[in-house]
Amino acid sequence: MKIVFFGSAEFSCPSLEALIHSHHQVELVITQPDRPKGRGQRLCPSPVKVLAQKAGLRVEQPERASSPQSRQLVQQAKPDIGVVVAYGQILSNALLSIPVHGCINVHGSLLPRHRGASPIQWAIIEGDEKTGVTVIQMDAGVDTGDILLQREEVILPDDTAGTLSARLAQLGAEALLETLSQYEEGKIIRCRQQNELATYSRLLKKEDGLIDWTQPADRICRLIRGLNPWPGAFSYLMGRRIKFLQAKVAEQSQQGYHCPGRIVRASRQEGLVVEAGENSSLALTQIQPEGKEAMPAWEYIQGLRHREPEGQYRFGSSGS
């Protein structure tokens, strides 16, 4: 099949790689324009652009994929089908209807649960036991199209958004090829989504990573895993911003005075044990202080112990 591929993020790359090594023809790759990144704000290409150029594919980077100029590019490619994977823009009906078979999307959840921009992160944050990928026939809505194929994946206890995303990206590539084969064989079966079961995973922002220590420890641990690697869960200690990379629920604190955010003990074996809401505690094992490399949490606290008595350190919500 002749394909126009829309994608930008790292999640898109296994699907594009699978198409490159298949019998299908990728006529055109449309990805987001180069964006400034890092402290130097240097323009950087999307992961999809890097992969597509390496494979010698034609790449276009319109600011608006649904503009008349972009639609003309797609029309000129004369695609049998459009494939959309983590592209980053909403596509108009006029664009979706150009390919012979319309456009299909590989989404990182078991739709209709976790429609929207951040399904993998929210699956972990919400404590889902399983997730997966869904291939849908795209329509005018956001992740509302008919389901063509679904594949499940168990969420492991130590999964981060990064580790889970990598597995789902590979699973999505496999599901994509299977769906295209069904199109070729005339075996596509469309199943309408149960809209009454739909949930929405809104786009995450940096400020979503600020820890609310009054939340129970298990919820905070899921937030830390779900926001790793981006945007990252964080708090402040003695005016310094600390990013949390790994944590686990610790033994419940002893009865008595309980202060969410307070570091109650530190050891090489446990890390930093911090009190949280509902009389719970969590152990921070891996952290990244602002301006420094990642390190064991226990190691960081050793340099502070001479400043305050044991039990007087407390994480807060601001750097002041």
Domain 2-201 classified CATH 3.40.50.170? yes
Listed residue (221, 276, 266, 262) closest to 245, CA to CA: 221
- Give Cβ neighbours of residue 114 (< 8 Å, ≥ 6 apart): 108, 122, 123, 131, 199, 200, 201
- C-alpha 38/C-alpha 43 separation (Å) is 9
Q: What pLDDT is attached to residue 305?
A: 58
Report residue 77 as tokens: 């490619």
Give, in words, the CATH class of 206-302: alpha beta
176 — phi, psi (to 5°)?
A: -65, -50
- Give Cβ neighbours of residue 30 (< 8 Å, ≥ 6 apart): 4, 5, 6, 59, 60, 61, 62, 65, 70, 73, 74, 87
What is the full per-residue pLDDT of the chain (320 aa) written as tens digits? 999 999 999 999 999 999 999 999 999 999 999 999 887 899 999 999 999 999 999 999 999 999 999 999 999 999 999 999 999 999 999 999 999 999 999 999 999 999 999 999 999 999 999 999 999 999 999 999 999 999 999 999 999 999 999 999 999 999 999 999 999 999 999 999 999 999 999 999 999 999 999 999 999 999 999 999 999 999 999 999 999 999 999 987 566 688 999 999 899 999 999 999 999 999 999 999 999 999 999 999 887 755 554 567 899 988 76
Report residue 119 as tokens: 């399904």
Fill in the DSSP letter of residue 253: P
- C-alpha 83/C-alpha 99 separation (Å) is 10
Work out the end-to-end distance of the chain between its first and last CA atoms, rounded to an integer number of angstroms.
59
Q: What pLDDT is attached to residue 320?
A: 60
Fill in the DSSP letter of residue 12: G
Count Cα atoms within 13 angstroms, Cβ side, for 20.
16
Domain boundaries, given as residue ranges, for the chain: 2-201, 206-302
Q: What pLDDT is attached to residue 311?
A: 60
- C-alpha 264/C-alpha 281 separation (Å) is 9
71 — phi, psi (to 5°)?
A: -60, -35
Fill in the DSSP letter of residue 277: B
